[in-house]
Chains A and B, each alone.
Chain A
Amino acid sequence: MSPRQGGRVGAPTSPDGGSTSPARPTRRQFLKVSLSAGGGLVVVLHGPWANGNSAAAAAGVQTTSDDFRAGPFVTVHPDGSATIYAKNPEIGQGVKTSLPMIVAEELGVAWESVRVEQAPYDPDRFGPQYAGGSTGITTNWDRLRIAGAGARHLLVAAASNRWGVDPADCSAANGVVAHGTGAGRRELAYGELLTEAAGIQPPDPESLILKRPSEFTIVGTSRSDVDLKEIVTGRTRYGLDYRVDGMQFAVIARAPTFGGRVRSFDAKPALAIPGVRQVVEIEPLDNRAYMSGGVAVVADSTWAAIKGRGALVVDWEPGPHATESSETLRDQFSQLIEGKGEVVRHDGDVDEALSSAVTRLEAVYEVPFLYHATMEPMNCVADARGDQIEIWAPTQVPGLCVALASIVTGVPREAITVHMLRAGGGFGRRLMAEYAAEAAAVSKATGAPVQVSCTREDDMRHGYYRPAGMYRMSAGLDGDGTLIAWESNVSTTSRHAFRGDEDTAAETEVFPDALPGAAAPNFRVTYAPAETSVPTGALRGPGKNATTFVEQCFLDEIAHASGQDPVAIRRRVIGEPRELPYRDHGGPTFQTGRIRHVLDVAVEESGWNRSLAVSSDRSGARPTGRRGRGVAAHMMFGAYVAHVAEVTVANDGRVRVDRVVCALDCGIVVNPIGARAQVEGGILHGISAVLHGEITIADGGAVEGNFDDYPLLRLDEAPEIEIHFVESSEHPQGLGEMAFPGIMPAVCNAVFDATGVRVRRLPIDVAELRFG
């Protein structure tokens, strides 16, 4: 029994990188106000969402109209409390708290009186809803302020009408409108003004007076995660915890080779396992990137499903890439970086400049496939009985869940509901949505609600990995040590190519406007995608998490080869404060003054010029190995980030990161404690990748299967972390991805400082660092 396959998946690109740019309300919007059934004041922001359609399309949503209704974000209740919807998926990045903080700030209520509710997936009401590209804060900042300020405007107008005074003479804070001072002071609580406020003509959003940053009382203050108590008491329901009446549990047997498919299977041994109810085949989508199919075992419990799958006998057609391995891929990369790629950018004459350079360097760098390793494996609950589908998903892209569920079942998108559940980690993995396609397909086939879940081995061996790649780097300096030529010849397993997207394969893999290369007058970037069946996707700081490692380490090599300090060469490359064009995500400009400033802060706070001997590790014990310090600085999706890392390399080659200092300029910081958490997380994620992260390929499949052969950073490996945010009133940027890429080169540069051994291939090979 197989579910119907409704058609080919088009090319829903994910909002995870280069194509997503911050949206601001640039066209007319208007506010609409009404009373809810419970007597609450509902304020709805209507009007076009700038870039809304492109962002929604990027999330896999086809919008029917340019005229989004945005809201209702705010309901003010008669008791003066407010309910604010959290519009985007929460995956641990903190937007369920920080986005409503923005609304509450302008609304003028005490944060303690706010109740936050997770919005359902309804982009016609809420605008684009996804978690990707670190865009949540930066693209919603203006529109959420308008939603809050519009409600405040109406409440102030209602009070001033009642008092017969000029609203400009009134103030609003903590849910109270006030007028006058001393004995003449009058106050009205928001809850007393709702009926009158609902009768007032809503203001033109462009006429609203938003607060000055100096007036903020919520934005810029630390607020705990709104789910904090639920989490520490175990009451939060993640995807795996969701239960529906009559729900069954399923796991899927997937082909051991990427690109493989079911030839035939024998369900009888599986059905003989107590608790197993059904065995159904799930056909792959035409574009396998979106669902690769397999055989689902459906049972009364997860354990019975796992045991049933163990007994299942499947004959697999291995597919066209069954002999692929990490070695065959490296051979491909090695050939493809020899100048055979597409020229993505060429300024000046690189060949001429390199041949005339006084100092010339070449080096080849490599990065492995990386696994996301969300602690909650992929899973989804779907109820596809009848002509409607209901989906409960920990996802970053509810829109893509709808699109894929519609394709695999033939049920129209309008009849599909997605509930966004708090996700046990995302990191870009949940920008794909095969779990929703699988759950919908299995539920449709069995006629019962089902939870499809992955074991750790399923999740690790059937991921969408950070692309592997190889980078041939060349640089030339003149007699003054000035960088006059830079060339990157790059080959990776492009995720655009994997998905068959129309965007060029290079787009997610190289960033030709980024420093340091773009600072060289003679500059060339070439790119050639490798042919592979290994699934790839976006992982935290996609593309950047490879190029930043390569470029910031190679710049360090250039510094040492030309007798320059690693900080001094960076200041030289960055140059005077100015705006450079930057056409990727985070642009349209690259502000060199901001990167220079965070570099200076990190250098100063780390004590760069002090001897490392005076430092000690966290426990105060004297370091017993070789110590070193390294630096990196780059722009990441519009934020400017610098890292200094200190390491100790033991005589047996093991690397311990002792201390990290990170300086960031991300504009206004909405929730400092949440912002720091994101930076801490990015740093530890990066250290984990540098020390341990690698998926290897053999016989057409992924070798590693669980945390014994794919280790993650453990508590005893975590360094001291110091974070410095630059005070700023610039438009806020996201933070989820910003601190991840730069820590990798900072650590590797520190390893070089300690040992004289240059790490050009990740993860770090301990054997190369042994001493004596």
Chain B
Amino acid sequence: MATITLTVNGRLHTVDVEPDMPLLWVLRDILGLTGTKFGCGKALCGSCTVHRIRSGVATAVRSCALPIATLDGAEIVTIEGLSDDGSHAVQRAWIEEDVPQCGYCQPGQIMAAAALLAADPRPRDAEIDNAMRGVLCRCGTHARIRAAIHRAAAGGGDR
């Protein structure tokens, strides 16, 4: 067992878990934050995408393949912490464009899009494709994801 302290959505947590437990299962089964989804367990589908904050910069990471032992002292933001009320520019754009079908992959899509826009406020299609191809959607919301990212970019991707 390992004792790990990390910040999730601005709150400090100390967890006592197996050191190889991926961040995903710490979030879901230990901390009760089920907004981050399991899809593949091998960083292939992106459903588990969260932000790791370093020096104030958000990077999209796949939580299913990130052992908790590597995250002592880390700062993580999940879909629950992206905004209190769905007011993040990307969430608003997702609502305006009616992106989801089943909705299961969308927290991962939104976190990946938010990280993209934080790094590149005006991405072109090719950059969107490149940043978002790592997050699978089986329902076929692809065109709406592109449109929503453009909308969020035009509205100013805050954060």
Contacts of A275 in B (CB 8 A): 18
In Å, the complex CA distance between A718 and B129 comes to 9
Contact across chains for A707 and B45 when beta carbons are under 8 A apart = yes
Q: Which residue of A lies closest to B33 (CB)?
A: A234
Interface of B (DSSP majority class): loop
A380 to chain B, nearest CB (A): 15
B104 to chain A, nearest CB (A): 3
Of the residues B91, B103, B146, contact of A715 by C-beta under 8 Å: B146
Residues of chain B in range 99-121 having any CB-CB distance to chain A below 8 Å: 99-107, 110
A409 at the B interface (CB under 8 A) = no
B98 at the A interface (CB under 8 A) = yes
Q: Which residue of A lies closest to B35 (CB)?
A: A234
Contacts of A456 in B (CB 8 A): 39-42, 45
A236 to chain B, nearest CB (A): 6
A329 at the B interface (CB under 8 A) = no
The stretch that binds B, out of A187-195, A225-233, A339-347, is A225-233
- The number of inter-chain residue pairs (CB within 8 angstroms) is 188
A263 at the B interface (CB under 8 A) = no
Contacts of B42 in A (CB 8 A): 456, 706-708
A41 at the B interface (CB under 8 A) = no
In Å, the complex CA distance between A93 and B103 comes to 11
B86 at the A interface (CB under 8 A) = yes
Contacts of A225 in B (CB 8 A): 98, 100, 103
Contact across chains for B133 and A715 when beta carbons are under 8 A apart = yes
Chain B 13-45 near chain A by CB (<8 Å), digits 1 or 0: 000011011100100111010111111111011
In Å, the complex CA distance between A375 and B37 comes to 9
B4 at the A interface (CB under 8 A) = no
Interface centre among B82, B107, B134, by most A CB within 10 Å? B107
Known: A225-B98, A425-B104, A681-B140. A375 touches B39 (CB 8 A): yes
B44 to chain A, nearest CB (A): 4
Which A positions have Cβ atoms within 8 angstroms of B? 91-94, 222, 224-225, 227-229, 231-238, 240-241, 243, 249, 274-275, 300-304, 307, 373-377, 422-427, 453, 455-456, 618-619, 673, 677-678, 680-685, 706-708, 712-716, 718, 720-721
In Å, the complex CA distance between A225 and B146 comes to 19
B134 to chain A, nearest CB (A): 8
In Å, the complex CA distance between A241 and B80 comes to 14
In Å, the complex CA distance between A229 and B42 comes to 28
B128 at the A interface (CB under 8 A) = yes
Contacts of B102 in A (CB 8 A): 91-92, 374-376, 422-426
Interface centre among A231, A425, A707, A716, by most B CB within 10 Å? A231
Residues of chain B in range 125-144 having any CB-CB distance to chain A below 8 Å: 125-126, 128-130, 132-144
In Å, the complex CA distance between A231 and B107 comes to 7
Of the residues A301, A375, A680, contact of B29 by C-beta under 8 Å: A301
Q: Which residue of A lies closest to B136 (CB)?
A: A712
Contacts of B95 in A (CB 8 A): 224, 228-229, 232
Contact across chains for A680 and B18 when beta carbons are under 8 A apart = no
Contact across chains for B128 and A233 when beta carbons are under 8 A apart = no
Contact across chains for B29 and A249 when beta carbons are under 8 A apart = yes
Q: Which residue of A lies closest to B145 (CB)?
A: A715
Chain B 74-100 near chain A by CB (<8 Å), digits 1 or 0: 000011101101100001001100111
Known: A92-B139, A224-B95, A234-B35. A307 touches B18 (CB 8 A): yes
Contact across chains for B110 and A232 when beta carbons are under 8 A apart = yes
In Å, the complex CA distance between A214 and B143 comes to 31
A373-B138, A376-B37 known, 15 other contacts, Cβ within 8 Å? A94-B101, A229-B86, A236-B103, A238-B104, A240-B34, A275-B18, A375-B139, A422-B102, A425-B102, A455-B41, A715-B135, A715-B137, A715-B145, A716-B129, A716-B133
B1 to chain A, nearest CB (A): 7
Contact across chains for B41 and A232 when beta carbons are under 8 A apart = no
Of the residues A274, A302, A424, A718, contact of B143 by C-beta under 8 Å: A718
Contact across chains for B145 and A232 when beta carbons are under 8 A apart = no
Q: Which residue of B lies closest to A303 (CB)?
A: B25
What are the 4 A-B residue pairs with the smallest beta carbon separation, nearest first? Answer: A234-B35, A92-B102, A424-B104, A681-B140
* Chain B interface residue count, Cβ-Cβ cutoff 8 angstroms: 64
Known: A234-B79, A677-B141, A680-B140. A375 touches B47 (CB 8 A): yes
B143 to chain A, nearest CB (A): 6
Known: A274-B1, A455-B41, A685-B138. A92 touches B29 (CB 8 A): no
Which B positions have Cβ atoms within 8 angstroms of A? 1, 17-18, 20-22, 25, 28-30, 32, 34-42, 44-45, 47, 78-80, 82-83, 85-86, 91, 94-95, 98-107, 110, 125-126, 128-130, 132-146
A309 to chain B, nearest CB (A): 13
A645 to chain B, nearest CB (A): 15
Of the residues B44, B103, B132, B134, contact of A422 by C-beta under 8 Å: B103
In Å, the complex CA distance between A275 and B106 comes to 31
In Å, the complex CA distance between A720 and B142 comes to 10
Interface centre among B30, B138, B143, by most A CB within 10 Å? B138
In Å, the complex CA distance between A227 and B42 comes to 29
B47 to chain A, nearest CB (A): 6
Q: Which residue of A lies closest to B36 (CB)?
A: A234
Contact across chains for A681 and B101 when beta carbons are under 8 A apart = yes
Contact across chains for A712 and B138 when beta carbons are under 8 A apart = yes
B3 to chain A, nearest CB (A): 14
Q: Which residue of B lies closest to A739 (CB)?
A: B140
Known: A227-B103, A715-B132, A716-B129. A237 touches B34 (CB 8 A): yes
A623 to chain B, nearest CB (A): 15
Contact across chains for A721 and B143 when beta carbons are under 8 A apart = yes
Contact across chains for A684 and B103 when beta carbons are under 8 A apart = no
Contact across chains for B125 and A618 when beta carbons are under 8 A apart = yes
Contacts of B106 in A (CB 8 A): 231-232
Of the residues A224, A301, A425, A720, contact of B139 by C-beta under 8 Å: A425
Contact across chains for A677 and B44 when beta carbons are under 8 A apart = no
A241 to chain B, nearest CB (A): 4
Could you list 13 examples of A-B contacts with CB < 8 Å?
A93-B101, A225-B98, A234-B79, A234-B107, A240-B38, A301-B30, A375-B104, A375-B139, A456-B40, A677-B140, A677-B141, A685-B138, A721-B143
Contact across chains for A683 and B140 when beta carbons are under 8 A apart = yes
Of the residues A231, A684, A718, contact of B100 by C-beta under 8 Å: A231
B111 to chain A, nearest CB (A): 9
In Å, the complex CA distance between A361 and B101 comes to 43
Contact across chains for B138 and A425 when beta carbons are under 8 A apart = yes
Contact across chains for A677 and B18 when beta carbons are under 8 A apart = no
Contacts of A237 in B (CB 8 A): 34
Q: Which residue of A lies closest to B38 (CB)?
A: A240
Q: Which residue of B lies closest to A90 (CB)?
A: B102
Contacts of A301 in B (CB 8 A): 17, 21, 25, 29-30
In Å, the complex CA distance between A405 and B18 comes to 34
Contacts of B142 in A (CB 8 A): 680, 684, 713, 715, 718
In Å, the complex CA distance between A341 and B152 comes to 57
In Å, the complex CA distance between A249 and B25 comes to 11
Contacts of B135 in A (CB 8 A): 715
In Å, the complex CA distance between A685 and B142 comes to 11
